[in-house]
Every structure is written in structure tokens, then in C-alpha cells.
């Protein structure tokens, strides 16, 4: 069945992790659903690369953190924070593609 | 081992906090008040320019409450990352505020001041000696970047702060600091477990952000024991839960289990988070693994020119349908109409299309009825940036595009003057590790007797 990430998530956010990395946190509402999406690996390097139109090697890590029913993805920042051409100094408004993410489960 | 209590006032010194929360913490007789002001989040401008991103009036308000309480209770105060970026110029701004408060309130302290800024000569030697290492996706450091930087700081760990406290300082005022170090130094000096103290510091440095509802401008109390620590917010409207506290380790970090810092990394993979009450959480199992050769993180920024921007809107469906082609044409036209004999960069940010995400924006078709355009001109002097922005702005205002029927002008300017002179701008120039065998004397410490 089709599942929209925003329907099952309590938190979907983005933020700088230092000036050279951008990190995304997804926290789920429910443990059963968390185990299911973790099992199905619905958030992986390729998914993040496709959602953000970046090469897969720019996805630095995907870490599952069951304590907080969370999964974290970190990518290379498109530009170092505050460089000429910057659009989001804090990196706090880059989460929307994850919100729109719909997958089969 | 007696319980060690740490009062964390706010996520950043100068963010403010409710007096009720603060005095509820003071009533519990804390052993330490600490706060860190540091962050690279606001971007490179503040480190590069030397202008603090914390407001002096707000810093003075926070510090006055902290210093008066510490004086009355005879307890130490550690402030990390003065002014946000922690170079000497930021530190000196804050020290003036401390001196004013001490005078106005008739207080008296022995204060240690620890600088985190380095001479370029020293860093060039360290670079040549191979002691500066690349860090993550940041570029390799080269000599040109060191020479071009306006300020280069390192995040100090607990070591220089411990040394200052050992020498009898009641206030330790630090330049750039690893955020948890301001909280962890005193308990580590007293023999508490380093891993627990640092992990507690990691939570307290954001004050009540790890509570629910979270806030960086409300106080939090940490209770450190021999084999665990506990945290509880001081505002009764907030509570800490195992999820809120464990989730906090995700925030602004790449990996929630392994947290590298000066001298080694925290490993939180074996941590447990247990509720003690419906508002307090106990944490156990934090581990610390020291590095063979200790490292500190270097941060530097350099000037990247001068900026002028112009902000305007457009509400024309024919224009909006061609905006990409129009702006590409504008870039060319600006080149030919300006005949610049200097280097410049001209960028456009189009809100309503891909203003927030740029190349990462997945939606290619805009359906909006209006767009906002920011013309961003950067050049080697303010006058040159003004010229680029002026020519781009006037050219766009009257730009002819296929099918144009609104021939009076393409832009709605909200302001007169339309162009905003931003002044000098900065970029990060150094983000790397410095290996050192002496993480104490790397940071220059001086002492000052304040008051009578």
C-alpha cells in the first residue's frame, strides 16, 4: 500500500550539521510503523539522492535511531553555509521533498 | 559521590530566559552556572567581520542575573564561545559587559579569560608540520586561506577551562569553545566521569531544547552522579521524556551515536534513557574514547567582497512563464551594458519558483501568480557591487521579452531606495582539525581581578 511519509511522521526537519553538511531527521509517531519502514529500508542513500537531485556519493550517511523512532540522513551541503549563492544559511527549510515522499509498503 | 548540579540558563547567552525558571534553579543551590553562546549556524559573517551575533543589551541582562547569583552562592560560572563566534574581538565585547555589571552591582570575582584565536604565523607553522587535517566534506586547508582569513579560532575542550578553575578562577570566560566543555570542565576537575559530564553538557548546552515543548530560551537543570545523570527543565510547563532527551542527540549532528569533540569522541550507542518522574529523565551508559593525539576544530572566515541586493516582485503571467529565460538573458545583457573591468558575481533568487532550494528543488513548474526576485551582486568593492546591482536592476525593469504587453516596467519595488548596500561579506575559509599535544597551553589564559 502507498504511504506518505508526512502521514506517519511526528517530525520531518532539516538543519546544518556544521557549515559543510546538511542533515535530515525523520521521527515517527508509532513504533510498529517505525519497525516496518526500517525493515523495508524505505529511506536509503538512493532515495535521498533522488529526492534531492544529488549524486549518491553526496549522501554521507543514513542512521537509524530507534530510541527516538528516528532515521537521520546527512548530505554534503550544496554550498558551504553562507557562500555566495546561498539560499538557506541555517539549512532549516530543505525538508519539503521528504514531506512529499510517498512509498510502497 | 555527592550530586553535582548544573544550571543551564539558555541555549545561547543573550537569548534570554524567564526569571522564574532561573530562580527556581538557584533555589536548588547549583554547583555551577554555565552557558555557551557558540554556533556556526548564523553563517560566516560574524566570525569574519568580528561583529557578535548576540545582542549586547540581551547579553548584559542574562549575565547580570547569572553573575549576581554566582556571587551570592560562591559558585563558578563558565561562559563559552563569547559573542557567538569566540574570536578575541567578540570576547572583548563580552568582557566589557562583565566589567560594567561587576561595577554596577558591586560584585567581586577572580576571572580567567581564555582566548581561542590564533596568529596566522603559528597556524602556517602547524600547516607545514602536517598538524592540520581535512575535516569531512570541507576543503583541505592551504596557506592562502590562512593568510586571507580575518579571524581563525579553535573550539577549546575542557582542558584549558579545568586549568583556569584549578588556578582559582570563579568566572571562566572563554573564546570559541566546544559547547559541552563549558558545562563539563568543573565536574571533570572534581573527579566526575568524563563521558557522563560531556554527555550532560551536550544536552545542557541547548538548555530546554531537549524538553517538550522545547525552548532554547528557558533554563534546564542537570544532576550529575557517579554512574548516571538526570535532567529536568525548570519551567513547570515543560517536561523531559526519554524520547525528548534521546531525540536531542539527533539535532544538528550527523550521527546520534558517535559525537566527535576535542580530544576524543563520545559513544552514546549503549545509552539508556529512563523516566525518573513525568518530568525528569535519567541517562546511563555514555562512553568516551580519547584520541591518540588530541585534536581541536579550527574555524576561519575571510572576506569575499562586497554585496548589494535589490528586492522586487512580479505579477505578470507572461513574464512568470519565461522567468528563467529572462534572467539568463539579463545576465548576458548586464555583462554587455556594464563593460566591467573588475570581477563580480551576479545571482538571482526567485521566490515562488526555487528560491529556497535552488538546484535541489524537485518541482520544475511554478504555478504561482506572483514571484519575488532578489538580485544579488557581489564585487571587489561596494561601488562595484552597487554598479552591478544598479545595471541589472534597471535592465530587468525594462527588459523586453517575447509576448510582452505590460510595457511600463517588469518589477514591483517595495522600497525606495530599491538597492540595499550590504557592505563587506565573508565566507568560511577554514574548517579543519588541528592536532596538538598540548590542548591546555594552546589556548592563552589570563587572569583578572574584578571588583573590590
- Cα dist. A25→A8, A62, A65, B269 in Å? 14, 10, 10, 18
Q: Quick check: bond before B213 cis, omega within 30?
A: yes
In degrees and rounded to multiples of 5, residue B28 shows phi and psi of: -85, 5
ipTM associated with this complex: 0.95
Domain ranges (residues) in chain B? 4-116+155-294+436-451, 303-427
Joined together, the cell numbers standing for residue A48 give 535521498
**CATH class belonging to B303-427:** alpha beta
* The dihedral sign for the CA sequence B1, B114, B65, B103: positive
Which residues in A lie closer than 8 A to residue B428 (C-beta atoms)? 19, 80-83
Angle (CA) B308 B312 B316, round 5°: 150
Residue of A nearest to B363 (CA): A97
Residues of B with CB under 8 A from a CB of A: 40-45, 136-138, 242-243, 246-247, 249-257, 271, 273, 304-305, 345, 347, 349, 355-362, 376, 378, 425-428, 431
Helix H or strand E segment including B102 = helix B88-105
Q: What is the pLDDT of residues B232-286, one digit of tens each?
A: 999 999 999 999 999 888 887 888 899 999 999 999 999 999 999 999 999 999 9
C-alpha angle with apex A46: A41 to A49, nearest 5 degrees? 130
State the Rg of chain A over Cα.
14
- Dihedrals phi, psi of B270, to nearest 5 degrees: -100, 15
A101 near A51, Cβ under 8 Å? yes
From the list B250, B255, B355, the residue facing A61 with the nearest CB is: B255
Residue A90 has pLDDT above 80, yes or no: yes
User: Which position has the grid cell 570563579?
Assistant: B170
Question: Would you say residue A91 has pLDDT above 90?
Answer: yes
**Is the peptide bond preceding residue B70 cis, with omega within 30 degrees of 0?**
no
Q: Which residue of B has its CA nearest to A31?
A: B243
Q: In this predicted structure, what is the pLDDT of residue B252?
A: 77
Nearest chain A residue to B258 by CA distance is A63
- Determine the number of helices (DSSP H) and then strands (DSSP E) in chain A: 4, 6
| Residues B361-377 pLDDT 10s | 999 887 899 999 999 99
**Residue of A12, A13, A17, A19 for testing the chain B interface, max B β-carbons within 10 Å:** A19
Q: How far, rounded to the nearest angstrom, does the alpha carbon of residue B196 sit from its chain's CA centroid?
A: 24
Cβ distance B425 to A21 less than 8 Å, yes or no, reads no
Question: Which tens digit of pLDDT belongs to each residue from A25-70?
Answer: 999 999 999 999 999 999 999 999 999 999 999 999 999 999 889 9
Average of per-residue pLDDT values in chain B: 97
**Regions of chain B short of the pLDDT cut 70:** none
Q: How confident is the model at residue A67, as a pLDDT?
A: 86
The shortest C-alpha distance from A28 to chain B (Å) reads: 11
**Are B426 and A63 within 8 A, CB to CB?**
no
Q: Do the Cβ atoms of B45 and A72 come within 8 Å?
A: no
CB spacing of A74 vs B257 below 8 angstroms: no
Give me the residue from B138, B251, B360 closest to A54, CB to CB: B360
Give the H or E element holding residue B303.
strand B295-314
Beta bridge partners of B430: B300
Contacts of B359 in chain A (CB under 8 A): 53, 78
Amino acid at each position: 500500500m502507498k504511504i506518505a511519509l508526512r502521514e506517519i511522521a511526528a517530525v520531518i526537519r532539516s538543519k546544518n550539521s556544521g557549515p559543510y553538511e546538511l542533515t535530515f531527521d525523520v521521527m515517527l509517531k508509532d513504533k510498529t510503523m517505525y519497525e516496518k519502514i526500517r525493515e523495508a529500508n524505505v529511506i536509503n542513500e538512493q532515495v535521498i539522492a533522488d529526492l534531492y537531485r544529488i549524486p549518491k556519493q553526496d549522501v554521507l550517511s543514513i542512521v537509524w535511531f530507534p530510541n527516538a523512532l528516528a532515521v537521520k540522513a546527512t548530505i554534503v551541503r550544496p554550498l558551504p553555509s553562507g557562500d555566495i549563492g546561498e539560499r538557506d544559511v541555517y539549512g532549516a527549510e530543505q525538508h519539503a521533498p521528504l514531506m512529499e515522499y510517498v512509498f510502497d509498503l | 559521590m555527592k550530586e553535582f548540579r548544573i544550571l543551564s540558563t539558555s541555549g545561547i547567552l543573550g537569548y534570554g530566559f524567564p526569571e522564574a525558571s532561573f530562580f527556581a534553579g538557584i533555589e536548588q543551590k547549583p554547583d555551577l552556572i554555565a552557558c555557551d553562546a557558540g554556533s556556526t549556524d548564523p553563517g560566516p559573517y560574524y566570525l569574519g567581520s568580528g561583529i557578535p551575533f548576540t545582542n549586547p543589551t540581551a547579553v548584559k541582562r542574562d549575565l547580570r542575573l547569572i553573575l549576581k547569583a554566582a556571587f551570592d552562592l560562591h559558585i563558578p560560572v563558565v561562559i563559552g564561545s563569547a559573542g557567538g563566534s569566540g574570536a578575541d574581538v567578540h570576547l572583548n565585547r563580552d568582557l566589557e559587559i562583565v566589567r560594567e555589571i561587576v561595577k554596577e552591582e558591586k560584585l567581586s570575582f577572580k576571572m580567567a579569560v581564555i582566548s581561542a584565536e590564533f596568529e596566522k604565523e603559528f597556524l602556517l607553522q602547524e600547516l607545514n608540520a602536517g598538524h592540520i587535517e581535512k575535516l569531512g566534506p570541507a576543503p583541505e586547508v592551504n596557506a592562502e586561506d590562512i593568510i586571507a582569513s580575518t579571524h581563525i579560532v579553535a573550539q577549546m575542550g575542557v582542558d584549558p577551562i579545568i586549568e583556569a578553575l584549578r588556578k582559582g578562577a570563579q568566572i571562566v570566560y572563554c573564546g570559541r569553545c566546544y559547547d559541552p566543555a563549558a558545562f563539563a570542565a568543573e565536574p571533570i576537575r572534581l573527579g566526575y566521569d568524563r563521558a557522563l559530564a560531556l554527555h550532560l553538557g551536550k544536552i545542557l548546552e541547548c538548555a530546554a531544547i531537549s524538553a517538550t515543548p522545547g525552548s532554547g530560551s528557558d533554563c534546564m537543570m542537570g544532576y550529575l552522579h557517579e554512574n548516571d545523570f538526570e535532567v529536568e527543565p525548570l519551567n513547570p510547563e515543560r517536561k523531559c521524556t526519554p524520547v525528548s532527551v534521546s531525540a536531542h542527540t539527533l539535532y544538528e549532528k550527523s550521527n546520534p551515536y558517535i559525537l566527535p569533540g576535542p580530544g576524543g569522541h563520545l559513544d552514546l550507542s549503549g545509552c539508556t534513557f529512563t523516566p525518573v518522574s513525568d518530568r525528569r529523565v535519567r541517562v546511563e551508559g555514555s562512553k568516551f574514547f580519547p584520541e591518540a593525539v588530541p585534536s581541536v576544530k579550527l574555524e576561519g572566515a575571510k572576506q569575499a567582497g562586497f554585496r548589494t541586493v535589490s528586492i522586487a516582485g512580479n505579477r505578470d503571467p507572461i513574464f512568470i512563464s519565461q522567468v528563467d529565460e529572462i534572467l539568463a538573458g539579463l545576465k548576458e545583457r548586464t555583462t554587455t551594458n556594464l563593460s566591467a573591468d573588475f570581477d563580480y558575481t551576479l545571482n538571482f533568487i526567485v521566490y515562488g519558483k526555487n528560491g529556497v532550494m535552488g538546484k535541489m528543488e524537485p518541482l520544475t513548474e511554478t504555478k504561482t501568480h506572483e514571484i519575488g526576485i532578489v538580485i544579488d551582486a557581489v564585487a571587489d568593492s561596494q561601488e562595484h557591487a552597487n554598479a552591478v546591482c544598479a545595471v541589472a536592476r534597471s535592465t530587468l525593469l525594462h527588459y523586453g521579452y517575447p509576448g510582452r504587453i505590460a510595457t511600463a516596467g517588469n518589477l514591483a519595488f517595495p522600497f525606495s531606495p530599491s538597492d540595499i548596500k550590504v557592505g563587506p561579506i565573508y565566507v568560511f575559509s577554514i574548517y579543519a582539525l588541528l592536532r596538538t599535544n598540548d590542548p591546555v597551553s594552546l589556548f592563552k589564559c589570563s587572569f583578572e581581578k574584578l571588583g573590590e
